[in-house]
Amino acid sequence: MNINTETRVLGLLGNPVEHSLSPFLHNQVFALLGLNCVYLPFKVETGKLEDAVRGIRGLNLAGVNVTIPYKEAVIPYLDELSPEASACGAVNVIKNSAGGLTGYNTDGIGFLGALRQENITEHKRVLFIGAGGAARSLAATLANSGASHLYFLDPDQRRAAEAAEWLKKQYVCETVTDLMNEENFRAMAVNADLLINCSPVGMYPAVDESPVVSLDSVPDTAVLCDIIYNPLRTKLLQMGQERGLKCITGLSMFAHQAALTLKILLDADPPLEYMQSELVKRLELES
């Protein structure tokens, strides 16, 4: 590509960022659509988040994605939040408009798009492994689209309780929370028709790890999801396939989110099928 003074810069703030396929995917789309843009990964060390956000303004970046562990921590440094970001208390897209920074959240919308792509419309009882920013965003979207019972398990039981209390203040739903361990997972999984791993357990390079040891208590009709997309099929999803469960990888959600990011930051309409195809080819090449 021809980088010049008119090139618009987008990027990813997080730590780690080495595993992310966002730079690959977005730069592929820019080349396909002939956009004079470049997407870069920015590893933000602990204590440097405020400086990184100032850099968006100072370097006039078009905007960035935000990933672990800064989705919630970045909010105090922004000027405005979209309704979705405000509702879930987490941001994964920041748009720079003449130095004014607006935070958005595409996690929930992207996940719902992935469910609809798989023709999954029923999700009354949802179990979340992990109760961070991504889980909150997904929970808010699912509660708003018909989920009536939401269960949260997290290694930090207080975080699970806070997520549940926050959700109940905004939506009519029942919530249950507990400490994430095998016993509590088995007890809650019995009642779930949708299980979602929102924790980083199993993410590259720790591909042999799973947040649970067994899926024996999961109903045969349940749908198992993992928002991790690298590897394409996590250890958890491999276990689900062995159990005969319907499994959804994080790739579809990731592609939907990436498309939304480019719509927000560049008002572009990227080809979703192309993006998913490119991601599959890249992940299969790396496996």
Residue 69 makes CB contacts below 8 A (sequence gap 6+) with: 14, 15
Strands 93-97 and 63-66: antiparallel
Quick one: average pLDDT of 9-18?
96
Residue 14 near residue 68 (C-beta atoms within 8 A): yes
Contact 140, 163 (CB under 8 A): no
pLDDT (tens digit, 9 = 90+) per residue, 178-232?
999 999 999 999 999 999 999 999 998 899 999 999 999 999 999 999 999 989 9
pTM confidence score: 0.89
**Which has the closest alpha carbon to 226: 261, 254, 205?**
254
Position 88 confidence tier, pLDDT thresholds 50, 70, 90: confident
Q: What is the DSSP string of 212-241?
A: -S--TTS-TT-EEEE---SSSS-HHHHHHH
Statement: residue 287 has pLDDT above 70:
no
- The CATH architecture of the domain made up of 8-105+252-286 is 3-Layer(aba) Sandwich (3.40)
Domains 8-105+252-286 and 108-248 share a fold: yes
Torsion of CA 97, 98, 103, 104, to 10 degrees: 10
Cis peptide before 69 (omega within 30 of 0): yes
Plot region of 267 (φ>0 → left; ψ -120 to 50 → alpha; else → beta): left
Q: Which residues are catalytic?
A: 71
Q: Helices (H) and strands (E) in the chain — how many of each?
A: 10, 12
Burial class for 217, CB neighbours closer than 10 Å (0-12, 13-18, 19+): middle
Per residue in 101-159, pLDDT tens?
Answer: 999 999 999 999 999 999 998 889 999 999 988 899 999 999 999 999 999 999 999 99
Rounded-to-integer distance, Cα 269 and Cα 104, Å: 17
Listed by start position, the domains of the chain span: 8-105+252-286, 108-248
CATH superfamily label, 108-248: NAD(P)-binding Rossmann-like Domain (3.40.50.720)
